[in-house]
Amino acid sequence: MSTSWINLDALWKIIVVGLLLGAGLPALFAVGLRALSPAASATVATESGAGAAPASASLLGRVIAVLCFAIVLAAIGWGVYKIVHPN
Return the residues of window 18-77 that contact other proteins according to CB under 8 A.
Answer: 18-19, 21-27, 29-31, 33-34, 36-37, 39-40, 43-44, 72, 76
71, 32 in Cβ contact below 8 A? Answer: no
In whole angstroms, the minimum distance from the beta carbon of 36 to other proteins comes to 8
In whole angstroms, the minimum distance from the beta carbon of 61 to other proteins comes to 12
Handedness of CA 38, 40, 43, 66 (dihedral sign): negative
In whole angstroms, the minimum distance from the beta carbon of 30 to other proteins comes to 4
CB count within 10 Å of CB 65 equals 19
Integer CA distances (angstroms), 74 to 33, 37, 57, 66, in order: 17, 23, 24, 12
Chain positions contacting other proteins, by CB under 8 A: 4-7, 10-11, 13-15, 17-19, 21-27, 29-31, 33-34, 36-37, 39-40, 43-44, 72, 76, 79-80, 82-87
